Amino acid sequence: MDVLSDVIAIVRTGRPRSALIEWHAPWGQRFPSAPGSAGFQVVVQGSPWLIPPDGDPIPLSVGDVVFFPHGHGYAMADSPATPVVEPDCDPQLEAGLFASASSEGPGAATILLCGGYRLDPNRAHPLLRDLPDMVHLPARLGHHPELRAAVDLLGSEICNPRLGADTVVSSLLDTLLLFILRAWLDTEPEHCQTGGWAVALADPAISAALNAIHRDPAHPWTVQELGGKAGLSRAAFSRRFTTLIGQPPLTYLTWWRLARAARLLRESEDSLSEISSRVGYTSEFAFANAFKREYGTPPGRYRRQVCPQPQHAGVAEAP
């Protein structure tokens, strides 16, 4: 897998949620803070206003996408002067996989495609930590056509669900999240030239090394070999990687191996020996020690805590 696909696979948990909501003016809705989640809003029709907790209201247009990667609260309304109401729950995350709803009112209609993703805060990838509190992707002719296509497909499927809609909507929500992150990564290097994941993934040398790590984390990588993938000397590669990523190459490699191991412990029935081999450890003992240092608990106990069920044959408690 490539870096961005891996990031989504490792941090999202459970099923995403989505809804197509038609608001009729006057309307104002507060979307409360939801730690451990990420949410988005797409303007399908109308000209609503985004009201952040700090700063001036922001006018939105048809096709605009607003993404909140850290679950911070905000409000939306037909006008900055319209009072906003507090919901009993967050409609983005408490709805089913997909839903549609409408509000009563005499005024013009605004249609929003909204959704949310549950994220595991214990597995936050540094790429997501680099994201600002809010990502606003204005609709611009010819920009991010794949993002627009995913939005159109998702809206159409929610309005007219057919056979297989659950699978289609779930896949489209993951696709939409990937396209939102792609769009941000495409534009962010224009504003940040010093460090961070946006710049790292736009750097051909560091991107090549990261993709090598993610495609084969079990390989016994050395800084020299990763530098070769990047086309740089060992010292030059190590300096550039550390500057952009914020940690040395082998430190990131270890962190990623253990993050992947935690996912395998949660989602697979592989034995600890099989998992340790898949993430690059030559012995189960070395893997268990490294995992405990990172997660504060042995891998066997971690598996029982997150998956409370009878252990399968061959899955033993680690020291």
The per-residue DSSP string of the chain comes to --HHHHHHHHHEEEEEEEEEEEEESS-EEEE---TTEEEEEEEEES--EEE-SSS--EE--TT-EEEETT---EEEESSTTSPPB--SS-HHHHS-SEEEEE---SS-EEEEEEEEEEE-GGG--HHHHTS-S-EEE---TTS-HHHHHHHHHHHHHHHS--TTHHHHHHHHHHHHHHHHHHHHHHHGGGT--SSSHHHHHHSHHHHHHHHHHHH-TTS---HHHHHHHHTS-HHHHHHHHHHHHSS-HHHHHHHHHHHHHHHHHHH----HHHHHHHTT-S-HHHHHHHHHHHHSS-HHHHHHHHS-SPPPTT-----
Say if residue 290's pLDDT is above 90: yes
Name the percent of the chain lying above pLDDT 90. 54
Query: Does the predicted TM-score (pTM) go above 0.95?
Result: no
pLDDT band at 308 (very low <50, low <70, confident <90, very high): low
- Of residues 54 and 15, which shows the higher confidence score? 54
Question: Which pLDDT belongs to residue 316?
Answer: 40
Q: What is the mean pLDDT of residues 97-119?
A: 82
pLDDT surpassing 70 at residue 225: yes
Average pLDDT estimate for 221-241: 97
Phi, psi at 48, each rounded to 5°:
-75, 175
Integer Rg of the chain from CA: 22
Whether residue 127 is predicted with pLDDT greater than 90 in this model: the reply is no
Among the listed ranges 83-92, 155-164, 268-277, which one has the minimum average pLDDT value? 83-92
Evaluate whether 232 touches 240 at the Cβ level (below 8 Å).
Answer: yes
20, β-bridge pairs: 100, 113
Mean of pLDDT values over 231-236: 97
CA 254 to chain centre: 21
Other C-beta atoms closer than 10 Å to the C-beta of 106 total: 7
Q: Is beta strand 98-102 parallel, antiparallel or unpaired with respect to 58-59?
A: unpaired
Q: What is the pLDDT of residue 312?
A: 42
Across residues 151-180, what is the average pLDDT? Answer: 89
* 49-51/58-59 β-pairing: antiparallel
Q: Looking at residue 258, what is its pLDDT?
A: 94
Q: What is the pLDDT of residue 121?
A: 67
* 148 has pLDDT over 80: yes
Q: What is the pLDDT of residue 35?
A: 83
Least confident of 91-105, 198-212, 305-319: 305-319
Structure tokens at 100: 């549609």
Overall average pLDDT of the 292-312 stretch: 80
